[in-house]
Structure 1
Amino acid sequence: MSKRIDVNNLNVYYSKFLAVEDVSLAVEPNSVTALIGPSGCGKSTFLRTLNRMHEVIPGARVEGEVLMDGENLYASNIDPVAVRRHVGMVFQRPNPFPTMTIAENVLAGVKLNSGRISKGDAEDLVEESLKGANLWNEVKDRLDKPGSSLSGGQQQRLCIARAIAIRPDVLLMDEPCSALDPISTLAIEDLMQELKNDYTIVIVTHNMQQAARVADRTAFFNIAGTGLPGKLIEMNDTATMFSTPSEKATEDYISGRFG
């Protein structure tokens, strides 16, 4: 079930350092939202607050709210591990578990979360998840081979299959194509368009063309200088952001006159 996310007055700290300041935005269900902006402006930090992944860094904390269909993910009674079951994540570099087969990679998160799964259910879930990641036809005859034996683009789709196998509501992708060649990148972009039928997707990308191609809405983050917090400058539907942004900094960044 795709979910809506509402972020209200979010501040993200690493110990005393304020990394992201006062972000409020809404992410629509069944859509792709792209986060763009220069390096170091807090995009990936912000993305990780949406499933509490930033908390794996000691001293990290937030102020403000992240609501998923109205429920605050930071409420005192909410378990961060449960949050990550609902909000899956795909990282910049493909990271299949090297000692596991393709099939075991798909099931890794499911087994971690729920323990036992019958052989028949496991086989069905592997097929369904690999089909969901547009990888089934390429690997169905070698599911017992190591995940690391696949090409980079296939490994990234395997990581997407692993993320959707736990049946999340939201899928976060942190520069999912930055380590991939153009053909693999196109495959992932096409996949995002299909996946948004079932999931809410938020991606960080440095590729302006990619944001223009895949995102329904785009949010521009910026930073005033080294050591200062990243801020959300503006957010709108992607066509508007790329044709008539309301802030000069956004226009400068998108047109490449930035820095």
Structure 2
Amino acid sequence: MSKRIDVKDLNVYYGNFLAVQDVNINIEPRSVTAFIGPSGCGKSTFLRTLNRMHEVLPGARVEGEVLLDGENLYGPGVDPVTVRSHVGMVFQRPNPFPTMSIRDNVLAGVKLNNKRISKADADDLVERSLTGANLWKEVRDRLDKPGSGLSGGQQQRLCIARAIAVSPEVILMDEPCSALDPISTLAIEDLIEELKSDYTVVIVTHNMQQAARVSDKTAFFNIAGTGQPGRLIEYADTPVIFSNPAEKATEDYVSGRFG
């Protein structure tokens, strides 16, 4: 199911403000790629361009190309809603729909896309998605209970189940563990490792140890100063970034000398 992402000469704007400048990157299928860098360097903004989520803000636009297996997500006539069914997003804070049951939370994306589904197929999809998110055994006896009643770590895994229920090829995660305790964080990290066997996974994290643990490749973003655009400084296999980076700015960041 996973697909390759190729980004070419991408500039991201909010109105007249250039937020991210001239990004070129190739992300392999069935891999985990981590975006790291100081706050405000554009890594989350860039992540949102990969499924056109940034467009929900007025005046947001891009120049350049984002190719999913060679197809430009910004091509003429491409529907952003369709893009988001292929490229799912998991946000920083768990956001299950509070009035919906666990079951309905999993099915929310499917229903949003107006897909007709029988009860038997829905039941099967709920079980497969929750199993894929390592949550089924914990919630299978309370599927009709509100998703908001779960712990923070369980809510985040519920959001991952909701994302994979629509059968995406790519899963984007914007600091998915920042609001979680260490035990829940470890559960999400273990899940990320499992997800890459089926999906292309891209994660933004401020946790250097997390990037080192879960990712195959790491991209370091930086910013020259306030009001300047974020840039991709270095992109390489994760062990290289953390042990032998080519750029001094990368070395300074991963060693804790700034950021």
TM-score (norm 2): 0.99
Distance 2:211 2:26 in 1: 17
Distance 2:69 2:24 in 1: 15
Distance 1:93 1:76 in 2: 33
Q: For residue 177 of structure 2, what is the amino acid of its counterpart?
A: C
Q: Any runs of at least 4 consecutive aligned residues in structure 1 with deviations exceeding 6 A, and if so which?
A: none
Distance 2:114 2:33 in 1: 30
Q: For residue 155 of structure 2, what is the amino acid of its counterpart?
A: Q
Give the deviation of 1:117 after TM superposition: 1.3
Distance 1:72 1:258 in 2: 36
Q: For residue 114 of structure 1, what is the amino acid of its counterpart?
A: N
Distance 1:103 1:77 in 2: 33
TM alignment of 1:1-259, pairs within 5 A: 1-259=1-259
Q: What 5-or-longer segments of structure 2 have no aligned partner?
A: none
Q: For residue 90 of structure 1, what is the amino acid of its counterpart?
A: V
Q: For residue 208 of structure 1, what is the amino acid of its counterpart?
A: M
Query: For 1:167, what is the secondary structure of its paired residue?
Result: coil
Give the deviation of 1:141 after TM superposition: 0.4
What per-residue deviation string (whole Å, max 9, x for no partner) do you get for residues 21-44 of structure 1? 000000000000000000000000
More divergent stretch after superposition (115-124 vs 243-252): 115-124
What per-residue deviation string (whole Å, max 9, x for no partner) do you get for residues 162-198 of structure 1? 0000000000000000000000000000000100000
Give the deviation of 1:116 after TM superposition: 2.5
Q: Percent identity?
A: 80
Give the deviation of 1:114 after TM superposition: 2.7
Aligned residues: 259
Give the deviation of 1:77 after TM superposition: 1.9
What per-residue deviation string (whole Å, max 9, x for no partner) do you get for residues 193-234 of structure 1? 100000000000000000000000000000000010000000
Distance 2:192 2:256 in 1: 25
Distance 2:65 2:9 in 1: 7
What per-residue deviation string (whole Å, max 9, x for no partner) do you get for residues 108-162 of structure 1? 0001013431100000000000000000000000000000000000000000000
Query: For 1:94, what is the secondary structure of its paired residue?
Result: coil
Query: For 1:240, what is the secondary structure of its paired residue?
Result: helix
Query: For 1:114, what is the secondary structure of its paired residue?
Result: coil
TM-score (norm 1): 0.99
CA RMSD, 1 decimal: 0.5
Q: For residue 190 of structure 2, what is the amino acid of its counterpart?
A: D
Query: For 2:62, what is the secondary structure of its paired residue?
Result: strand
Query: For 1:178, what is the secondary structure of its paired residue?
Result: coil
Distance 2:89 2:60 in 1: 19
